[in-house]
Structure 1
Amino acid sequence: MKLSHFDFNLPSELLAEYPPLNRDESRLMVLDRKTQTIEHKMFKDLIDYFDEDDVLILNNTKVFPARLFGNKEKTGAKIEVFLLRELNAETRLWDVLVDPARKIRIGNKLYFGEDETLVAEVIDNTTSRGRTLRFLFDGTYEEFRKKLNELGETPLPKYISREVEPEDAERYQTIYAKKEGAVAAPTAGLHFSKHLLKRLEIKGINFAEVTLHVGLGTFSPVEVEDLSKHKMDSEEFEVDEHSAKIVNEGKAKRRKICAVGTTVMRSIESTVSSQGALNPYIGWTNKFIFPPYEFSIANCMITNFHTPKSTLLMMVSAFAGHDFIKKAYAEAIKEKYRFYSYGDAMLIL
């Protein structure tokens, strides 16, 4: 398939600027692949589609406040620094994006915070906007990370045009987030409330957790018409033995195995045995899933509504069928579903 197959006209007013008041009261479009039917529900109705011993797989990554604002030495120019990845904890080296990039050269120093106790030196150019920074801070590593968290801002996607608000620190995070390392939320999980998770647990649904630290590569635009030539950025992930056991037992019982989000789907599809079982694994994945693709683990998935030409839309199309997703998205636009990170959800059975 080609990039142009995943283009569609998305009205800008359907991009969600704010989350719903209550997490589990977003809308839920339910797609049944067997009957090719579409239902319109609320997210809390999700419980009606699962039974005892079914499995939900969650991504327990935690978003850290990755967006910093500093000032360039001498000129005082305001520079945005987006933390991507810690390269070395001991030397405090980070891969970052800077904006405006044309002003930032090797050897420049950036000062953060009113007291300017946090300083960074540019030591390498990695891409047109990418830089490697060495942070200079007089304190322990724990104090350094605390300082980053104090000065950093919740990394809402750029399409959200408003200022970051205090509530975003909590709402742009799943309620089961544990392991810090993501620069974007695994957004399918944002719809789960504590109450809904408890109801699912009481019903006998089993939960498995994986960790995939979402990077900006997930949202990088595809710039080649031939999808086989697109390269995904690598993201760090882990599937532990306990979760693999829960998933494999569910598969053996022929239960529903539901991937909550594209990040979970990419994780589990990146570590499959030759017998089609889920293997424990710690490492990196740059797996790019687009049609046609044979899925090995999950037989249903929860996902948000994605933007045109995105790798996320391509994965969902591979899972549900391209024509069915096209029909569902046309219906979503007609019914004014909310798109993207803070938007509504889809359950694909």
Structure 2
Amino acid sequence: MSVKSYSVSDFDFELPPELIAQHPAAERSASRLLDGRSSSPVDRIFRELPDLLNPGDLLIFNNTKVIKARIYGAKHSGGAVEALVERVIPGTCEVWAHMRASKSPKPGTFVRFNDAFDAEVLGRCGPDNGMFHLRLPSDPFALLEQHGHVPLPPYIEHADEADDVRRYQTVFAQEPGAVAAPTAALHFDEALLARLAERGVATAHVTLHVGAGTFQPVRVENLADHKMHSEWFEVNEATVAAVAACRARGGRVVAVGTTTLRALESAALGGGLRAGARETEIFITPGFQFQVVDRLITNFHLPKSTLMMLVSAFAGYEPIMVLYRHAIAQGYRFFSYGDAMLLERV
């Protein structure tokens, strides 16, 4: 199959609903790991990962921190409102948010959230004016931490619970701003990180604030017609240096999650990995030329999603379909709270 012949329907598959994980594994590193590095899938446990890497390899994580981005309130007219804060505008009390209400609130009106604070509607914003520009009365991060809810994905059917505050967050989360977790990194705990260090595996970090667009299916059949959502990322000088050192010693760069991969490959567009912070709308489909990442640790993704296209570009379309069929047949748990796989770049 040639690259140009792929369409959205090629990335569809039937997933039994019972395989959509509603809760995480009892222990982070006790999740299953599907080893997809060879022609035949191998079933493993995630805590085996140190044995699958070599001393001198470099693991790169996304250190974004999920904010309690979902808030509930009402318009002054009484209509209920649910908001999902997608982005906090740096240095301000303003945010961009998705809002659900019977009638859209108009600019100049106020929404009362959690019966605790008022947000002024400044207007519409974002791609296709699909979001609302709001001004909050004080620091958005503090208000959301106090009054917000964990923004669990739409396929998780329970309301957020106390355990979700801890488990829908990586153990090394540092930079607040994401509305979805970098889920491949949820499998790492302190004991596993210590074993990786003992093994001689180096680590580094990028920051990419995951947006709600990560859950959106591609709604056009021709991939060229899809408009990718934008996300903010930063790759610092230390990570650029760590990648160069890894290459010099003959190690492999292992991205933990598709968000990490997107940040690294975005920072290498145009040739050479460059430090800096900016927006990315990178859409990785079969035929993409990878510059940085040699291996990828990732969870199992939604049908027809941009992430299905990304992993197919990375490991090959047919091998990915084989892995997904194996995972379904063997009862692997899917999506954010599900199991993981280890992929080699083709």
**Under TM normalisation by the shorter chain, which class is it?**
over 0.9
SS of corresponding position for 1:195:
helix
Please say if 1:217 is aligned against 2:217. Answer: no
Q: What TM-score, normalized by structure 1, do the two folds share?
A: 0.93
- In 2, are the aligned partners of 1:62 and 1:181 still within 8 Å (CA)? yes
1:308 alignment partner in structure 2:
303
- Measure the CA separation in 2 of the matches of 1:215 and 1:145: 16
1:167 alignment partner in structure 2:
163
Cα shift at 1:79: 1.1
2:200 alignment partner in structure 1:
204
Moved more, 122-131 or 298-307: 122-131
Q: Which runs of 5+ in 1 are unaligned?
A: none
2:292 alignment partner in structure 1:
297
Cα shift at 1:107: 3.1
Identity of aligned residues (%): 42
1:109 alignment partner in structure 2:
110
- In 2, are the aligned partners of 1:99 and 1:129 still within 8 Å (CA)? no
Aligned residue runs from structure 1 range 180-259, under 5 A: 180-259=176-255
Aligned residue runs from structure 1 range 152-163, under 5 A: 152-163=148-159
1:60 alignment partner in structure 2:
63
- Measure the CA separation in 1 of the matches of 2:20 and 2:101: 25
Cα shift at 1:221: 2.1
Moved more, 60-69 or 227-236: 227-236
- In 2, are the aligned partners of 1:97 and 1:130 still within 8 Å (CA)? yes
1:4 alignment partner in structure 2:
9
SS of corresponding position for 2:213:
helix
1:37 alignment partner in structure 2:
40
Please say if 1:80 is aligned against 2:82. Answer: yes
2:263 alignment partner in structure 1:
267
- In 1, are the aligned partners of 2:215 and 2:302 still within 8 Å (CA)? no
Cα shift at 1:223: 1.4
- Measure the CA separation in 2 of the matches of 1:147 and 1:218: 24
Alpha carbons of structure 1 residues 103 and 241: separation in structure 2 relative to 1, 3 Å: closer
Cα shift at 1:101: 5.4
- In 1, are the aligned partners of 2:153 and 2:215 still within 8 Å (CA)? no
1:125 alignment partner in structure 2:
124
2:275 alignment partner in structure 1:
280
Q: Which amino acid aligns with 2:44?
A: K
* CA RMSD, Structure 1 to Structure 2 (Å): 1.6
Q: Deviations over 1:91-132 (max 9, x none)?
A: x22111111253433333211234x3x101222134575211
- Measure the CA separation in 1 of the matches of 2:183 and 2:82: 24
- In 2, are the aligned partners of 1:10 and 1:307 still within 8 Å (CA)? no
1:21 alignment partner in structure 2:
26
Alpha carbons of structure 1 residues 88 and 295: separation in structure 2 relative to 1, 3 Å: closer
- Measure the CA separation in 2 of the matches of 1:130 and 1:102: 14
- In 1, are the aligned partners of 2:85 and 2:97 still within 8 Å (CA)? yes
Paired residues in the alignment total: 337
Alpha carbons of structure 1 residues 347 and 294: separation in structure 2 relative to 1, 3 Å: same
- In 2, are the aligned partners of 1:101 and 1:128 still within 8 Å (CA)? no
- In 2, are the aligned partners of 1:105 and 1:125 still within 8 Å (CA)? no
Alpha carbons of structure 1 residues 243 and 229: separation in structure 2 relative to 1, 3 Å: same
- In 2, are the aligned partners of 1:218 and 1:232 still within 8 Å (CA)? no
- Measure the CA separation in 2 of the matches of 1:331 and 1:102: 45
- In 2, are the aligned partners of 1:187 and 1:304 still within 8 Å (CA)? yes
Tell me which of 312, 315, 320 is aligned to 1:317: 312
- In 2, are the aligned partners of 1:68 and 1:151 still within 8 Å (CA)? yes
Q: Which runs of 5+ in 2 are unaligned?
A: 1-5
Tell me which of 30, 51, 58 is aligned to 1:48: 51
- Measure the CA separation in 2 of the matches of 1:294 and 1:67: 37
Cα shift at 1:268: 0.7
Moved over 6 A (4+): none
